[in-house]
Amino acid sequence: MTSMLSIFKQRPLYQKLLFIGLSCYGVFCISLGLIAPYIAKKQLAPFITQQIGRETSIEDIRFNPFTFELTVDKFAIAEQNNNQVFIGFDKLYVNASPWKSLFQLSVSLQEATLTAPMFNLERLTEQTFNFSDIANKLQQNDMVTTDSETVQNTSPIAIQIKKINIQQGVVAIKDVVSDSQVIYPKINLEFNDFDSVASTVETSKGTQQKHNLYAISLSDEHGSQLDLTGQFELFPLTVETNITLSQFRLAKYWQFIDEYFDIQLKQGLLNIDSKITVKARAQQPTPFQFVVEDTKIQITDINATHANEEKIVINSIGVNQVNLDNLSKQITIDSFEVNKAKIALNVSTTGADLLTLVMPKSMDSNSNDNTQHSLNEEPPAESRPWLVMLQKVDISEFDVNLGESVASDNTIKWQISQINLQTGMIKSDLSEPLTYNLSAKVNTNSELASLGTINLIDQTLLADFSYKNMHLVALQPYIGKFINVTIEDGIFNTQGKLKVDAKNELNYQGSVWVDQLAIKDNVLHQPLLNWQKMSINQLQFDRQTSTIAIDEIQLDELFSRIIIAEDRSTNISHLLIQNDSEAKQASTSPSIDTTEDSAQSAIAPVISINQIKLTNSSAFFADNSLTPNFASGIELLNGTIKQLTNNPQTTASVNLAGKIDKYAPVTLKGDVNPLLDQPYLDLNLNFKNVELTSVNPYSGTYAGYYIDKGKISLDLTYQLKNNALIGSNHIVIDQLQLGKPSNSDLATSLPVTLAIALLQDRHGVIDLGVDVEGDLNSPSFSFGSIIMGAIGNIITKAVTAPFSLLASLVSSDEPLDKVNFDFGSSQLKSEQSSHLTTLAKALAERPLLIVNLKGSIDAVNDSQTMAETKLHTKLANLAAIEVAQVPDNLSASQFPASGPLTTALYQLYQTEFNQDPEDVKQSILTEVGSENTNQQVALTEEQLSTKWHIALYNLLKNNQQITQTELGILAQNRSKTVKTFLVEQGQIDPKRIFIMESRINTAQELAEVQLELQPN
């Protein structure tokens, strides 16, 4: 060792210095190339493990002291509970430039390359991640230190890196909460000529120095690609970036946030091309300038679903040429475009479901309130608002499948398709009116179009509007809830100009027409209202002035139906459906002060219709409460109603003509104003030769008979003013013939056939004049009741006093309903013959009347007379004389004392009583003797004879038995006497005179013949 040292000392100086230098360099190389990497490999991993609490591994660390290249292989930090890699890389390569760093006093690297870095990020719960334990560990290891020194005027550190590379990087993101995962398997980054203190400087030739150029490329496992290229400087901070995002699959990343939404994004590609520049502006009110240029954002193939239903399907959404500058506070957008979209939207009383689906679940009312509050806050006075200018909106082939359940209990489907909307420029300051052109189809057939201008400041709309081929069947779910009808067909059309503003102005001028309307009554399942075409050639509606002006309403082939059901209710009464729950809610709802609205609605609308024209129209009426059912109709109804208005100073002119059951003409002429509070009319309604067989159900039900033949003509004149009705009805019924009885329980008790026979003259005509009047203010008023009441009074008077009616026909006031006879006689008296002559004249005027004769007797007086006549006949026979020879005054007191009649008297007594007449005489003597014992007065022979004959006569008279048969024959003979006179003297057809049976149940009060009228 000593010899070597001595030899070293003997060497020249340069050798000594060279040896020392080489030795130091050798030590340096050994230290950096072998010792330092070894120590780092042994100590770095445990140190990191100690600091973060995770297993850390490093496979190798190498440093080339000759080229100053550092290489780290297989660095990895493990997951907390397994051996999987949390973060790591395959290789880190750094090539330093120490001499350049030394000479330029900067950190200078020739190259820094990271190969295959890997980062595995996981969310384990709502609040914890797979790095949460590391953060907690580092927080525990932090020592609180205070630095009392304030560093001022710190200069930036000069760092220069010729090339920075990240190659084949992998990032895996996993969300255990939402069970979602995405992997970026290919991440590349390249920085060239990085210089932390370099600035972009233009050379004398006008070119920029290329410093801090970067290119970042990132792609995920699904083929999405993000490319960032540009240039930046750090002092002052300036970043220029060209961004290209292509085929970014939104659905793959939706899984990370889908827990916050009810809608699921199944598909969607995002493409962005943009240039962004950020510049720091020191000592300026706005510290940064942010500029976006030539940006194009496009989202294609969007498909979002909910409950396996496609809710949003959009082919493409594009925002083109977006430019933004925060210094000028302007955003300009060349166009916003949507192409081929389809939206499924359900609207209910709780709102639109799609809005709920696309809103985050965490948004509550408080956030909404805060948002609204912030929106309502005015910007500071010194703050200039942003100006956004959108040059145009172009939406094409947009479809909306709308399910609506607000106005109906069931979901109503509406298909709004082929929506096309183009607009002009839209400015956020609303300084320019918005022009638009909208077209769409509703439920395939309907065509909606509007072209106009919206002034957003004045809140006015001026537009041409048309809605054509709207099938009214689509409205059925809405009206079916309130009206008991079914719209089976009908096409609504309108075209005109619309003006609307925020000051309650609504003005529409145009035309309206409805084709092929068909409405069915749901109760009777029959057509209720039809027409081939209804057109309004010119309609003007103005809400401010509350006016509706119509030039002409043309109704072609109008048809309406009125039906009376079996329970006598009408189909019209069943149209409105009363909702009890709504009515109750309305009645219990608190009152709301709507003074302004009420004042507006209180203005009665001014309605004017220049003309209503009916062509080939008809109406049908049926009454199913009758058996058989009644049905009739008015057809070929043509005419006009002119100048219809609710102006009380004017009246409408009515001129209508049609036919009932095809053949009977009907006309309606006059003046009317039904739109007044108290309607006015002065009308003449005329029917001619209407077949009465068509009203058989009514005659069968209420008159009790069907009609075999007849026609009716009506001339009705009505005046209605101030709710007072005055009417004159002229009714002519020709050749009325009743058929068989109907046996209806509702039939009138009046003898209808008799009334007809009484009213119908010898020509077969019933001619009635009926005047009516009534008060519409009366609760019991009805047109039908006052007319039928007047007619009923005429019939009642006729059938209750038919003979008075007959007497009036021949200007007589004597009663014609009975003929009196002497007791026991069937011979006419002279005064009764004159009576029957008058009756015969009246019967000649009413050929449909027949007369029933019913004889009657006075049971006591007729019996006594007949018994006496019978006794006289027996006495004449025994006396062998003619009955005519019997004295007329023969009676008990006027009986002859002797002669043939006296002898016959004795014989008849002997025969009928089987006793000796002398016994009667002896009884008289004995009775007289006992009565006169104290008076001592004796009867003379003449007196005795008279008393004896009286007693015999009375005993025989009382013994004559007059039977009911004999009395009946008397009554019958009296009827025959009357008939004989009417036929022979009055020239009445014997077929019209009927003798009713009088021998059975004979009337026993009066000795007369009672006459009864009956229809033939």
- List the end-to-end C-alpha distance of the chain, in Å, as a whole number: 175
C-alpha pair distances (Å), 268 with each of 261, 298, 761: 16, 10, 95
Task: Specify the range with the lowest mean pLDDT, choosing from 157-161, 275-279, 617-621.
Answer: 157-161
The pair of structure tokens assigned to 314 is: 């959009």
The pair of structure tokens assigned to 886 is: 């019997």
Q: In this structure, are residues 532 and 515 in contact, taking their beta carbons and an 8 Å threshold?
A: yes
Task: Return all residues near 447 (Cβ < 8 A) that are at least 6 apart.
Answer: 439, 440, 441, 466, 467, 468, 469
* Domains, the chain, ordered by start: 33-133+158-200+209-231 (no CATH), 433-545 (no CATH), 810-929+937-1015 (3.30.1330.60)
Q: In this structure, are residues 937 and 928 in contact, taking their beta carbons and an 8 Å threshold?
A: no
DSSP-H helix ranges across 884-961 = 900-913, 917-931, 941-959
The DSSP-derived string for 239-263 is EEEEEEEEEEEHHHHHTTTGGG-SS
Residue with the larger pLDDT of the pair 703 and 244? 244
Task: Return all residues near 970 (Cβ < 8 A) that are at least 6 apart.
Answer: 824, 826, 855, 857, 862, 866
* 213-219/225-234 β-pairing: antiparallel
In angstroms, the CA 593 to CA 599 distance is: 11
In angstroms, the CA 970 to CA 332 distance is: 126
Residue 240 has pLDDT above 60, yes or no: yes
Residue with the larger pLDDT of the pair 789 and 552? 552
Q: Torsions phi, psi of 50, nearest 5?
A: -65, -40
Q: In this structure, are residues 846 and 757 in contact, taking their beta carbons and an 8 Å threshold?
A: yes
Residue 784 has pLDDT above 50, yes or no: no
The amino acid present at 797, given as its one-letter code, is K
pLDDT at 449: 96
Task: Specify the range with the lowest mean pLDDT, choosing from 580-594, 598-612, 792-806.
Answer: 580-594
In angstroms, the CA 755 to CA 846 distance is: 11
In angstroms, the CA 610 to CA 1006 distance is: 75
In angstroms, the CA 192 to CA 721 distance is: 102
In angstroms, the CA 720 to CA 706 distance is: 35
pLDDT at 999: 66
CB-based burial, 461-484: b 16+ in 10 Å, e otherwise: bebebbbebbbbebebbebbeebb
Strand partners, 250: none
Strand partners, 534: 514, 555
Residue 600 has pLDDT above 50, yes or no: no
Q: In this structure, are residues 450 and 463 in contact, taking their beta carbons and an 8 Å threshold?
A: yes
Q: What SS3 string covers 448-495?
A: EEEEEEEECCCCEEEEEEEEEEEEHHHHHHHHCCCECEEEEEEEEEEE
Residue 459 has pLDDT above 60, yes or no: yes
pLDDT at 9: 66
In angstroms, the CA 497 to CA 450 distance is: 9
pLDDT at 790: 54
How many Cα atoms occupy the beta-carbon half-sphere of 339 within 13 Å?
10
Residue 263 has pLDDT above 80, yes or no: yes
pLDDT confidence bin for 144, thresholds 50/70/90: very low
Residue 683 has pLDDT above 70, yes or no: yes
The pair of structure tokens assigned to 593 is: 């002060």
pLDDT confidence bin for 163, thresholds 50/70/90: confident
Residue 731 has pLDDT above 50, yes or no: yes
Which helix (H) or strand (E) segment holds residue 800: the answer is helix 783-800
pLDDT at 381: 46
Count Cβ atoms below 10 Å from residue 369 Cβ, excluding itself: 10
Q: Is the peptide bond prior to 628 cis by the omega test (within 30 degrees of 0)?
A: yes
The pair of structure tokens assigned to 530 is: 């039809």
Q: What mean pLDDT is predicted for residues 386-390?
A: 94
Residue with the larger pLDDT of the pair 983 and 755? 983
Q: How far is CA 286 from the centre of its chain?
A: 59
The DSSP-derived string for 703-742 is ISEEEEEEEEEEEEEEEEETTEEEEEEEEEEEEEEEEEE-
Q: In this structure, are residues 231 and 214 in contact, taking their beta carbons and an 8 Å threshold?
A: yes
Give residue for tokens 């050929």: 847
The amino acid present at 340, given as its one-letter code, is K
Q: What mean pLDDT is predicted for residues 19-30?
A: 74
The CA dihedral of 198, 200, 202, 207, to the nearest 10 degrees, is 110
CA dihedral (798, 801, 802, 805) positive or negative: negative
CB-based burial, 886-908: b 16+ in 10 Å, e otherwise: beeebebeebeeeeebbebbbeb
Q: Which one-letter DSSP state was computed for residue 932? A: T
Task: Specify the range with the lowest mean pLDDT, choosing from 134-148, 696-710, 731-745.
Answer: 134-148
C-alpha pair distances (Å), 522 with each of 51, 425, 480, 575: 84, 52, 10, 9
Helix (H/G/I), strand (E/B), else coil: 858: coil
User: At how many degrees (to 10) do helices 900-913 and 917-931 cross?
Assistant: 90
Residue 417 has pLDDT above 90, yes or no: yes
Task: Return all residues near 894 (Cβ < 8 A) that are at least 6 apart.
Answer: 887
The CA dihedral of 118, 122, 127, 128, to the nearest 10 degrees, is -70
In angstroms, the CA 128 to CA 764 distance is: 109
Residue 325 has pLDDT above 90, yes or no: yes
pLDDT confidence bin for 770, thresholds 50/70/90: low
Helix (H/G/I), strand (E/B), else coil: 223: coil
C-alpha pair distances (Å), 940 with each of 255, 925, 943, 944, 945: 156, 11, 5, 6, 9
The DSSP-derived string for 188-215 is EEEEEEEETT----B-TTSPBP--SEEE
**What pLDDT, in 10s, does the model give residues 877-936?**
888 888 878 887 888 788 888 888 888 888 888 888 888 888 888 888 887 766 655 554
pLDDT at 480: 80
Q: Sheet harboring 849-855: ordered strands across?
A: 818-820, 1008-1015, 849-855, 993-995
* 180-195/159-175 β-pairing: antiparallel
Average pLDDT over the chain, rounded to an integer:
82
Strand partners, 978: none
Whole-structure pTM value: 0.66
CA dihedral (697, 702, 707, 711) positive or negative: negative
In angstroms, the CA 741 to CA 728 distance is: 31
Helix (H/G/I), strand (E/B), else coil: 529: strand
